[in-house]
Amino acid sequence: MTVARVALPLAAPQTFDYWVPAGLAVARGSVVRARIARRALAGVVVGVDQSESVARERLHSIEEVADLPSLPDDVTDMCDFVASYYQSAPGLAHALALPPLLRRRGRAASGKPPVAAPTAAAPATLNDDQARAVAALVSALGSFSPFLLHGATGSGKTEVYLAAAREALARGGQVLVLVPEINLTPQFESRLRGALPNAHAVTLHSALSDGERRASWLAAARGEASLVLGTRLALFTPLPALALIVVDEEHDDSFKQNDGVRYHARDIAVWRAHRRNVPIVLGSATPSIESFAHADAGRYTLLELPRRAPRAAAFPSITFVAPRGHTMREGLSQALVDALSQRLERREQALVFVNRRGFAPSLKCVACGWQAGCPRCAARLVLHRDPDHLRCHHCGHRSNVIAACPECGNVDLLPLGSGTQRLERALHSLFPAARIARIDRDTTRAKGAFSAIRAQIEAAELDILIGTQMLAKGHDFPRLTLVGVLGADNALYSADFRSTERLAALLTQVAGRAGRAGLAGEVIVQTDFPEHPVFSMLATHDYARFARTLLEERRIARLPPASHVAILLAEAHARADVDRFLDDAHAFARERVQGGHGDVEVFAPVPALLARRAGYERGQLVVQSERRSALQAFLPQWRDALPAIARKRVRYAIDVDPAGFC
Ligand code: ADP
Ligand code: ZN
Ligand code: ZN
């Protein structure tokens, strides 16, 4: 009898056996439908055996083989690797490789991939740095070769990807391009289509309909689409002729999935490139410390584009203004207000960046110091206007604005600090004639809202943009010549070991929006700590040097990438349940470490940085090792022991190579 081992999309730690009826062609990678607990689920066959030891009656049969191309070996191997490396259920890992719409039987793909409408743009004449980078990539085609492309914002990284992709396509290969954000895909997409008019390009991201995603997936899996552009989920697409992988903005946290299967798409992309023997280029203006460490160790080839690409485009000038000791109007310094009025006179655009949405981050009683807190989280409520309400940014809880302090009855409640809404009001009253737009998650929630604003910016229908980090990344606005940065100092107080790296990347990206097309750019940063290394880095435009300083700090503190970390995250309604679970998990781990995993260090459980969220008490336990293999050898036993340690009331997850501590 033929028995298929099937990975079903369930959190179970195992695969499931089914017998294969005669006449069904089933092999590793086949996508099948199988019944479990009265549900028919789509799963992936991970192995097929001949077995006489099991009685047929004890197994269900495979119901049908889906009308889809089988997953190729590199994709099933990648899913196996993801499951084992990230300690996740095999079925959930394999589900990442399946296209949507498998649940509805017999329904044909409805969406069509968007058709290329080329206006064929002549490729830019590459400068020497770009040409060198392209030559290195092209000569690596056909072999595994990881590259780190470090180029300042506007240095022409995208032109390098395009030139390398053009060559890979000309040789009949497929190219996979990963970007962190859906918002970045339309702009990237039109550039790709313009520069590579003969490529059949498809996109894959979560904002597409299921039908569109399925159509893109099929076109890629059948080898019809030559170029796949997408977010992290596109990484798992079958690509029979894969020849080159590009990961743009490789430092971006969006490549890390933080629920379900907690994989890092950049890291797994490198694994896939290795498995397929193709080059991969990781590009960024602010590469991750991890990637710099790989480059320094000789594992990645470093390609640098130190200058801005278009002739006459210089780096912006950077000025610091200290809020302390200066008169501020609603959080705005006089220097920034003056610079804004200049831009209005010159009909240029300005961006004021503040990474907080809402009106004010907190509502405080001036008499007794009470601040409005979320009843379900260990966090403050954010004051929002239009309409007035208090909102928790962690769990979404909303309540009415209270009229008096619940502690002392005082009616003098003060909105503390400044968010995008407050800044918008302030700028409207300072510049009544200016056309101002606020761009944050609240104003761009509706489908198409963000692209509508983008179009207005490009058509010069807006003068001042107020934006959160949504607007910091990748966008190219030719008339934007001034960037003001507010509230950057808040990030300096964060307890997360990656906060300085993130701030440095964010500031560099925001500053990079200023002055791109021959118009000089200016950046004004309001900070009380201009001598902080993160700001000196910004002033000298030397991210690489700063990154190496951070790397040295991480080595001394034995933090990633100088060590390899996994976190056990736990939550429950009662703190005692969290504590007991983590204590037991800790004791188990300690015992194992003493019994032969001496290279692994187990830390004591601690409350999460956000100790309560949405009614759940949260805690975490860190294990780490200087050797990745030692950590990987230890984790499976721990993972397998946890179900028995956890009682019903505790939810938990293991996060390997976490983006930070939570
Ligand atoms: P990055 O991806 O590094 O931010 P881009 O590739 O978007 O940089 O290039 C920034 C701008 O410079 C774009 O408008 C691009 O068309 C232009 N550009 C890139 N390379 C060249 C070049 N060699 N000559 C002239 N303009 C260039
Ligand atoms: Zn009070
Ligand atoms: Zn909350």
What is the average pLDDT across 180-199? 86
* pLDDT given at position 112: 41
In whole angstroms, how far apart are CA 200 and each of 196, 219, 416?
Answer: 9, 9, 52
Best mutation site among 132, 159, 480 for ligand 1 pocket (most ligand atoms within 8 Å of CB): 159
What letter represents residue 659's amino acid? A
Q: Tokens 């040789």 — which residue? A: 171
What letter represents residue 132's amino acid? R
Ligand 1 atom with the shortest distance to the CA of 153 = 4
Ligand 1 atom 20 nearest Cα: 156
Residue from 112, 113, 79 nearest 98 by CA: 79
Please indicate whether residue 540 or residue 116 has the higher confidence score (pLDDT): 540
The C-alpha atoms of residue 31 and residue 33 are separated, in whole angstroms, by 7
Question: pLDDT tens digits, residue range 151-183?
Answer: 998 899 999 999 999 999 999 999 999 999 877
pLDDT at 134 over 90: yes
Q: Tokens 């003493």 — which residue? A: 594
What is the average pLDDT across 625-641? 95
Ligand nearest to the CA of 311: 1
Confidence bin at 117 (pLDDT 50/70/90): very low
> Per mean pLDDT, which range of 112-126, 203-217, 288-302 is the poorest?
112-126
CA 408 / ligand 2 centre spacing (Å): 4
3-state SS of 233-261 is: HHHHCCCCCEEEEEEECCCCHHHECCCCC
What is the average pLDDT across 512-524? 84
Please indicate whether residue 3 or residue 475 has the higher confidence score (pLDDT): 3
pLDDT at 61 over 80: yes
Ligand 1 atom with the shortest distance to the CA of 311 = 25
What is the average pLDDT across 499-526? 89
* pLDDT given at position 186: 79
530-535 CB contacts, 8 Å cutoff, 24+ apart? 530/320, 530/322, 532/492, 533/500, 534/492, 534/500, 534/503, 534/504, 534/507, 535/320, 535/507
Ligand 1 atom 25 nearest Cα: 310
Ligand nearest to the CA of 374: 3
Ligand 1 atom with the shortest distance to the CA of 155 = 3
pLDDT at 474 over 80: no
* pLDDT given at position 662: 67
Contacts of 626 (CB under 8 A, 6+ apart): 558, 562, 563, 564, 599
pLDDT at 335 over 90: yes
Give burial (CB, 10 Å; 0-12/13-18/19+) of 567. Answer: buried
CA 46 / ligand 3 centre spacing (Å): 42
Instruction: Give the H/E segment covering residue 3.
Output: strand 2-7
> Angle 412-438-431 (CA atoms, 0-180°, nearest 5)?
75
The C-alpha atoms of residue 373 and residue 364 are separated, in whole angstroms, by 10
| Model pTM score | 0.94
Residue from 295, 281, 225 nearest 250 by CA: 281
3-state SS of 62-118 is: EEEECCCCCCCHHHHHHHHHHHHHCCCCHHHHHHCCCCCCCCCCCCCCCCCCCCCCC
Residue from 342, 347, 358, 650 nearest 478 by CA: 347
Percent of all residues in the chain with a pLDDT value above 90, rounded to a whole number? 80
Please indicate whether residue 121 or residue 443 has the higher confidence score (pLDDT): 443
Ligand 1 atom with the shortest distance to the CA of 305 = 3
Residues 247/252/258/262 CA torsion (nearest 10 deg): 30
Confidence bin at 110 (pLDDT 50/70/90): very low
CA 392 / ligand 3 centre spacing (Å): 5
Ligand nearest to the CA of 615: 3
> Per mean pLDDT, which range of 75-79, 185-189, 353-357, 397-401 is the poorest?
185-189
Ligand 1 atom with the shortest distance to the CA of 162 = 6
In whole angstroms, how far apart are CA 105 and each of 6, 22, 28, 33, 201?
Answer: 19, 22, 22, 10, 28
Q: Are 616 and 571 in contact (CB under 8 A)?
A: yes
Tokens of 213: 């995603």
CA 324 / ligand 2 centre spacing (Å): 26
The C-alpha atoms of residue 527 and residue 492 are separated, in whole angstroms, by 11
Ligand 1 atom 5 nearest Cα: 156
pLDDT at 389 over 50: yes
What is the average pLDDT across 635-643? 95
* pLDDT given at position 577: 96
CA 376 / ligand 2 centre spacing (Å): 21
Ligand nearest to the CA of 614: 3
Ligand 1 atom 24 nearest Cα: 310
* pLDDT given at position 116: 42
Strand 301-305, strand 145-151: pairing: parallel
Ligand 1 atom with the shortest distance to the CA of 159 = 6
Looking at every residue in the chain, the average pLDDT score rounds to 92
**Does a cis peptide bond (omega within 30 degrees of 0) precede residue 114?**
no
CA 310 / ligand 1 centre spacing (Å): 6
pLDDT at 73 over 80: yes
The C-alpha atoms of residue 453 and residue 449 are separated, in whole angstroms, by 6
- Concatenate the DSSP letters of all residues of 582-608 into one string: HHHHHHHHHHHHHTT-TTEEEPPPEEE
The C-alpha atoms of residue 646 and residue 518 are separated, in whole angstroms, by 61
Contacts of 457 (CB under 8 A, 6+ apart): 349, 437, 465, 477, 480
Ligand 1 atom with the shortest distance to the CA of 130 = 23
pLDDT at 491 over 90: no
pLDDT at 517 over 70: no
In whole angstroms, how far apart are CA 10 and each of 39, 162, 639?
Answer: 12, 39, 16
* pLDDT given at position 114: 44
Best mutation site among 153, 158, 187, 475 for ligand 1 pocket (most ligand atoms within 8 Å of CB): 158
* pLDDT given at position 118: 45
Protein residues with CB under 6 Å of any ligand 1 atom: 124-127, 130, 151, 153-159, 309-310, 476
Question: pLDDT tens digits, residue range 424-462?
Answer: 999 999 999 999 999 999 999 888 898 899 899 999 999
Ligand 1 atom with the shortest distance to the CA of 151 = 3
CA 404 / ligand 3 centre spacing (Å): 21
Ligand nearest to the CA of 157: 1
Phi, psi of 57 (to 5 degrees): -60, -20
CA 612 / ligand 3 centre spacing (Å): 8
- 462 Cα distance to chain centroid: 29
* pLDDT given at position 366: 95
CA 374 / ligand 2 centre spacing (Å): 17
Ligand nearest to the CA of 402: 2
> Per mean pLDDT, which range of 513-517, 520-524, 525-529, 570-574 is the poorest?
513-517
* pLDDT given at position 120: 53
The C-alpha atoms of residue 654 and residue 88 are separated, in whole angstroms, by 8
Ligand 1 atom with the shortest distance to the CA of 517 = 14
Ligand 1 atom with the shortest distance to the CA of 125 = 23
Q: Are 32 and 21 in contact (CB under 8 A)?
A: no
CA 402 / ligand 2 centre spacing (Å): 12
- Concatenate the DSSP letters of all residues of 174-239 into one string: EEEEE-S-GGGHHHHHHHHHHH-TTS-EEEE-TTS-HHHHHHHHHHHHTT--SEEEESGGGGG---
Ligand 1 atom 4 nearest Cα: 154
Ligand nearest to the CA of 404: 2
Task: With H, G, I as helix, E, B as strand and everything else as coil, classify residue 578.
Answer: helix
CA 587 / ligand 3 centre spacing (Å): 32
CA 126 / ligand 1 centre spacing (Å): 9
pLDDT at 89 over 80: yes
Ligand 1 atom 21 nearest Cα: 309
Confidence bin at 7 (pLDDT 50/70/90): very high
Residues 329/332/334/340 CA torsion (nearest 10 deg): -120
Ligand 1 atom 26 nearest Cα: 310
pLDDT at 574 over 90: yes
Ligand nearest to the CA of 392: 3
Ligand 1 atom 10 nearest Cα: 154
Ligand 1 atom 19 nearest Cα: 156
Strand 564-572, strand 651-656: pairing: antiparallel
> Per mean pLDDT, which range of 309-318, 342-351, 450-459, 559-568 is the poorest?
309-318
What is the average pLDDT across 488-506? 89
Q: For the beta carbon of residue 513, count every other beta carbon within 10 angstroms.
A: 28
The C-alpha atoms of residue 82 and residue 261 are separated, in whole angstroms, by 8
Q: Are 581 and 575 in contact (CB under 8 A)?
A: no
Ligand 1 atom 17 nearest Cα: 310
What is the average pLDDT across 176-204? 89
Q: Considering just the CA atoms, what is the radius of gyration of the chain in Å?
A: 27
Ligand nearest to the CA of 369: 2
CA 290 / ligand 1 centre spacing (Å): 26
CA 368 / ligand 2 centre spacing (Å): 4
* pLDDT given at position 311: 66
Tokens of 17: 């056996």
CA 152 / ligand 1 centre spacing (Å): 11
Task: Classify each residue of 167-200 as buried b or exposed e, where b means 16 or more C-beta atoms within 10 Å of its C-beta.
Answer: bbbeeebbbbbbbbebbbbebbbebbbbbbeebb
DSSP, res 264: B
CA 358 / ligand 3 centre spacing (Å): 15
